[in-house]
Structure 1
């Protein structure tokens, strides 16, 4: 057992296996459970996240606590959201054993991060997490929308998802996640993570995505309306926007009129537009149709 002055004692492969055996834990793909077993990887994530002694960090999917312990070595407070009751119940004991000096700086919340409505205690300033890969984008977007106090973050996701989140217009992987994430933040790729740092090793590569909060676009239309237009714009990637937006606009004529009003060629495809273009297009749709943008409203 470590002493308070020594700081947290991180988990390695042997410690992770011992914890799992004691809990009779069998990681499941359904819950996206791949536990980090390399202390250097969690140190790297904490270092690259840029968090400091004043930060309140939100972690999602802490699992057995590998990243949690590394975060507690630096942050003022860590709140971990865990959906698995078995893991959530064990985390406080792990922190007490391996980071006794930081017990009061830690809190675990048993909840589904996709449905959480608030985070206890001081408002979190950073999100640092090994996100469950099967729900990583919805979780990230939900938390960015829910918690405007989040100033920055670093998350580990599937490599292809990291590429999509950080993609730029015109790229083959630029799409809905790219545009929606840009509503909240400036997003960039922050490196790759090998498969051998996990147990069990995933069958996909992993990547780090860093982001810093920025002000959303100044517009009279709502975020939900813009996101509805974004969804429609990418629903049929091979179709021109004139056809993709016809249902939202109510007719091909209204779709063309809205695109013209927004200064966008009707034959343009969604992957060629930046967030500001989608905002302008949403405003034009509202103006042309005389109603809010609602999925299926043009039927």
Structure 2
């Protein structure tokens, strides 16, 4: 595995050969440090039977490391030039038979695209779409048992934050709906090309069931409303969504939540309790059987 990984010289030579220049639009920062790749693969805790989903493989640095540790890798790449070049890069250094490249937008993929079904998400995610990508994949791929993603350090902090933290917010609660998460280390800018002006962070997560039968769509509506005005009390913040402050207060009291509390103090289970109370009391607008307002798509 060590000899197969790409170093700084190989990364630049490969990019030059393909005529590729990293773009901010696609959030491209390519890892060129083999030790960082080894560290990510080790931290992911993969088994030889795992099927890995990698988003944004770029020139293939992390892909090569994952192929040495897993049964199969699905690589989703939105850049058509990079997607087309990846099989040849892998074929020169590893077993290309274990790789499936999907030229696609990760925000639009569905479970039917992947055979065999992915069990782990391991990726260096583009900073500009990291949170939506993680949440979308957890929603559409129930076979994912967990994962490890590298994101901007500020985003990593938000994803793993707990109630009461200054950075606890919508990403924290929505990830907690699907999984338990933890910080898995910091990654310095120097291991990327081009060098970003921020540190990156590793976030590890393990899927678990909340034992909750409230539709996700309703819970996420409550979360969005609570943090849209995070300085306000929940009574005030949820008033518009619930149909008035009095209605919001009845809903919160029915859920066992103090109306003067703020969203940043609630756990995901408490948000689910508020959503359940909303359904019971008929608040929150016209909800369909799936828990969405009519015409609404889940985050």
* Superposition pairs of residues 1-299 of structure 1, within 5 angstroms: 9-99=4-94, 102-118=95-111, 119-219=113-213, 221-289=214-282, 292=287
Displacement, 1:236? 0.5
CA distance in 2 between partners of 1:203 and 1:295 (Å): 40
Contact 2:212 2:272 in 1 (8 A): no
Distance 1:7 1:208, change over 3 A: closer
- The answer for unaligned runs of 5 or more in structure 1 is 1-5
CA distance in structure 1 between the partners assigned to 2:46 and 2:14 by the alignment = 28
Aligned-pair Cα RMSD in Å: 1.6
The normalised TM-score by structure 2 is 0.94
Shift >4 Å, 4+ stretches: 293-297
Q: Measure the CA separation in 2 of the matches of 1:138 and 1:12.
A: 30
Residues in 2 aligned to 1:42 and 1:167: alpha-carbon distance in whole angstroms: 25
For these two proteins, the number of residue pairs brought into alignment is 289
CA positional deviation for 1:8: 6.1
Aligned to 1:3: none
Give the whole-Å Cα distance in 2 for the aligned partners of 1:204 and 1:94.
29
SS in 2 for 1:116: coil
CA separation of 1:294/1:57 partners in 2, compared to 1, >3 Å: closer, same or farther?
A: closer
Partner of 1:40, secondary structure, is helix
> In the TM superposition, what is the alpha-carbon distance from 1:296 to its structure 2 partner?
10
Whole-angstrom CA distance in 1 between matches of 2:206 and 2:18: 37
Gaps of 5+ in 2: none
| Contact 1:8-1:72 at 8 Å conserved across structures | no
SS at match of 1:266: coil
Partners in 1 of 2:217 and 2:174 — Cα distance? 10
CA contact (8 A) 2:86 2:101 kept: yes
